[in-house]
Structure 1
Amino acid sequence: MVNIPEYYAGKNVLISGATGFMGKVLLEKLLRSCPGVKAVYVLVRSKAGQSPKARVADMINCKLFERLQAEQPDFAEKIIAVNSELTLLELDLSKEDQGILVENINVVFHCAATIRFNEPLKDAMQLNVLATQKMLALAHRMKHLEIFIHVSTAYAHCDREVIEEVVYPPPVNYRKLIDSLDWMDDDLVATLTPKLIGERPNTYTYTKALAEYLVQQEAGDLNVAIVRPSIVGASWKEPFPGWIDNFNGPSGIFIAAGKGILRTMRASNDAVADLVPVDVVINTTLAAAWFSGSQRVNRPRSILVYNCTTGGINPFRWGEVEYCINMTFKNNPLEQAFRRPNVNLRSNPFTNQYWTTVSHTLPALLYDGYLTLMGHKPRMMKTITRLHKAMMVLEYFTSHSWVWNTDNVAMLLSNMSPEDKKVFNFDVRQLNWAEYMESYCMGTKKYVLNEELSGLPAARKHLNKLRNIRYTFNTILVVLIWRVFIARSQMARNIWYFVVSLCFKFLSYFRASSTMR
Structure 2
Amino acid sequence: MCRSKILEFYEKKSVFVTGGTGFIGKVLIEKLLRSTNVATIYVLIRAKKGKNVSTRFEEMFNCALFDRLKNERPDYKSRVIAIVGDCVQEDLGLTPEDREELISKTNIVFHVAASVDFNENIKTAYDINVKGTKVLLDFCKKFKNLMSVVHTSTAYVYCHLDSLDEVIYDHPLHYERAESMLERLSLEEAHRLTPSIVKKWINTYTFTKAMTESMIKEISDGLPIGIFRPAIVTSSYKDPVESWVDSFAAFGFTGFFALALLRVVLYKEGSNIECVPVDLVTSAMIACAWDIPHKDPIPVYNYVSSVDNPTSFTDYLKAFKTGIHRYPSSKAMWTPRLTCTSNSFCYFLFKILFNYTLAILYDFHHIMTAKKPQTLLKVRHLGKVLDSFGFFTNTNWKFTNGNVKRLWDRTNDEDRKLFPFDIRLVKWDTYYSNFLKGIRIYLLKDPLNTLPKARVRMQR
Partner of 1:510: none
Is the partner of 2:156 in helix, strand or coil? coil
Aligned residues of 2:245 and 2:438 also touching (Cα < 8 A): yes
> In structure 2, how many angstroms separate the alpha carbons of the residues matched to 1:134 and 1:5?
30
Q: 1:335 aligns with which of 322, 330, 334?
A: 330
Instruction: Indicate conservation of the 8 Å contact 2:259/2:332, yes or no.
Output: yes
Aligned amino acid, residue 360 of structure 1:
N
Query: In the alignment, does 2:10 pair up with 1:8?
Result: yes
Runs of 4+ deviating beyond 4 Å: none
Moved more, 139-148 or 391-400: 391-400
Q: Is the contact made by 2:20 and 2:113 (CA closer than 8 Å) also made in structure 1?
A: yes
Q: State the alpha-carbon separation in 2 of the partners of residues 420 and 92 from structure 1.
A: 37
1:498 is matched with which residue? none
2:406 matched residue in structure 1: 411
Matching of residues 58-457 of structure 1 within 5 Å:
58-252=59-253, 254-293=254-293, 295=294, 299-300=295-296, 302-457=297-452
- Counterparts of 2:68 and 2:360 in 1: how far apart (Å)? 45
Greater Cα radius of gyration, structure 1 or 2 = 1
Match of 1:171, SS state, is coil
Deviation at 1:49, TM superposition (A): 4.9
Task: Report the 3-state secondary structure (helix = DSSP H, G, I; strand = E; otherwise coil) of the residue aligned with 2:249.
Answer: coil
SS at match of 1:248: helix
Q: Flag the 1:260–1:305 CA change in 2: closer, same or farther, 3 A.
A: same
Shift of 1:318: 1.1
1:32 aligned to which of 34, 45, 52: 34
Q: Residue 279 of structure 1 aligns to which amino acid in structure 2?
A: D
C-alpha distance in 1 between matches for 2:61 and 2:259: 30
1:22 aligns with one of 17, 20, 24: 24
Q: What SS does the corresponding residue of 1:232 show, helix, strand or coil?
A: strand
Q: Is the 8 A contact 1:319 1:345 kept in 2?
A: no
| TM-score normalised by structure 2 residue count | 0.96
**CA apart distance, 1:185:** 2.8
Is the 2:163–2:397 Cα contact (8 Å) retained in structure 1?
yes
Q: Secondary structure at the match of 1:167?
A: coil
> Relative to structure 1, is the Cα distance of residues 460 and 49 closer, same or farther in structure 2, using a 3 angstrom cutoff?
closer
Shift of 1:379: 3.1
Residues in 1 aligned to 2:204 and 2:50: alpha-carbon distance in whole angstroms: 30
Query: How far did residue 48 of structure 1 move?
Result: 4.5
Q: Which residue of 2 aligns with 1:507?
A: none
- Cα offset, 1:123, TM superposition: 0.6
Quote how far apart the aligned CAs of 1:2 are. Answer: 6.0
* Contact persistence 2:69–2:76 (CA under 8 A): yes
- 2:102 aligns to what SS in structure 1? helix
What is the CA–CA distance in structure 1 between the aligned matches of 2:201 and 2:391, rounded to whole Å? Answer: 9
Tell me if structure 2 keeps the 8 A contact 1:273–1:317.
yes
2:454 is matched with which residue?
459
**Counterpart Cα distance in 2 of 1:382 and 1:48:** 21
Contact 2:229–2:300, Cα closer than 8 Å, also in 1: yes
Q: Is the 8 A contact 1:264 1:352 kept in 2?
A: yes
Matched-pair contact (CA < 8 Å) for 1:53–1:81: yes
For residues 61 and 265 of structure 2, the distance between their equivalents in structure 1, rounded to whole angstroms, comes to: 36
- What displacement does 1:366 show? 2.7
Is the contact between residue 4 and residue 414 of structure 2 (CA under 8 Å) also seen in structure 1?
Answer: no
Query: Are 1:322 and 1:344, in contact at CA under 8 Å, matched by a contact in 2?
Result: no
Amino acid at match of 2:327: N
The answer to whether the 8 Å contact 2:335/2:457 transfers is no
Q: Do the aligned partners of 2:153 and 2:230 also contact (CA within 8 Å) in 1? A: yes
- CA distances 1:92-127 after superposition (whole Å, capped 9, x unpaired): 112221111111111011110011111111110110
The match for 1:486 is none
2:279 counterpart letter in structure 1? D
Distance 2:188 2:261 in 1: 35
1:12-39 Cα shifts (integer Å, max 9, x gaps): 11001111111111100011110x2111
Identity of aligned residues (%): 33
SS at match of 1:141: coil
Q: Distance in 1 between matches of 2:416 and 2:398?
A: 25
Rate the CA distance shift 1:432–1:2 in 2: closer, same or farther, 3 A: closer
- Offset at 1:381? 1.8
Amino acid at match of 2:41: V
Q: Does structure 2 conserve the Cα–Cα contact (< 8 Å) formed by 1:322 and 1:345?
A: no
Q: Which moved more, 1:390-399 or 1:47-56?
A: 47-56
CA contact (8 A) 2:252 2:443 kept: no
The gaps in structure 2 that reach 5 residues or longer are none
What is the root-mean-square deviation of aligned Cα atoms in Å?
1.6
